[in-house]
Amino acid sequence: MTERRTQARQAHAGATEQLTQIGFRLRVAREERGMTISSVAEFTGLTKGFISQVERGLASASITSLAAICDALTLPMGRLFDPPRVYVSRGAERQPAKLMGEGVRDSVLTPPGQSDMQVIETTIEPGGGFEDEPYRLPVDREFLVVLEGTLQLELEAESYLLEAGDSMSFAGRHAHIWRNPSASEPARVMWVLSSNP
């Protein structure tokens, strides 16, 4: 009997979690489209109170009602049940990459194939860097933060000396080169490269 009660509680918790997820995704979709609960109610013929309860995970909507709400929001119904897209990159399992420069070790932190944003952690040995000739990247923005050490970055005709905690952002089309000016201390830099869809 105790085991059955435990299983029932677990099933109820799972159902409640799914209702909360569905409601949250419906609310986000509605707000992204600039719609009110009233406008969704008018489109679907459902009451405002019911739609509000569904969004808060307090009521279970039938497939017909969910389809009507999704139709009002131009949201594919399957999107409500997709598992969260989560990518975990474990430091101990991360494979080093050699992207550019001398005396440089890179680690790509974002998922393989992701094109709108890339996050790269770079360790630069003393005196190492990318100095052959200025380069440009086919991205809209570059953002970097120096985690440890110092970074000398030349952007067009300007030179910047960045220390631990300093950050910088610029358009990817600007030609730049960089290096670790220290003769004894390595530098660690986080780069974020973003592109508009």
Query: Which of 32, 59, 80 is at the close of a domain?
Result: 80
How far from chain centre, in Å, is Cα 56? 25
Q: 55 and 135 share a domain?
A: no
Residues 96 and 183 in one domain: yes
Residue 185, both tokens? 């201390």
Q: How many CB atoms lie within 10 A of CB 135?
A: 11
Q: Is 104 in contact with 128 (CB distance < 8 Å)?
A: yes
CB 162 within 8 A of CB 146: yes
Torsion over CA: 123, 127, 128, 134 (sign) = positive
Claim to verify: residue 100 and residue 133 sit in the same structural domain: yes
Are residue 102 and residue 189 in the same domain, yes or no? Answer: yes
Residue 85 lies in a domain: no
Reduced to 3 states (helix: H, G, I; strand: E, B; else coil), residue 31 is helix
Q: Report the alpha-carbon distance of residue 169 to residue 178 in Å, rounded.
A: 14
**Domain boundary at 58, 80, 102, which?**
80
| Distance from C-alpha of 175 to C-alpha of 71, rounded to nearest angstrom | 47
Domain end marker among 80, 115, 139: 80
pLDDT over 80 at 95, yes or no: no
Same domain, 135 and 155: yes
Same domain, 118 and 33: no
Highest mean pLDDT among 25-34, 84-93, 167-176, 181-190: 181-190
Q: What is the CATH number of the domain that holds 106?
A: 2.60.120.10
Of 53, 60, 55, 46, the closest CA to residue 27 belongs to 55
Residue 145, domain member (yes or no): yes
- One domain for residues 55 and 120: no
For 13-31, the pLDDT digits (tens) are: 445 778 888 899 999 999 9
Is position 86 within any domain? no
**What's the CA gap between 66 and 54, in Å, rounded?**
9
Determine the structural domain holding residue 73 and report its residue range.
2-80
For position 51, which CATH number holds? Answer: 1.10.260.40
DSSP E strand boundaries for the chain: 102-108, 117-135, 141-148, 150-155, 158-163, 167-171, 176-179, 187-194
Answer yes or no: pTM beyond 0.85.
no
Number of domains in the chain: 2
Q: pLDDT category, 61, cuts 50, 70, 90?
A: confident
* pLDDT tens-digit series, residues 39-54: 999 999 999 999 999 9
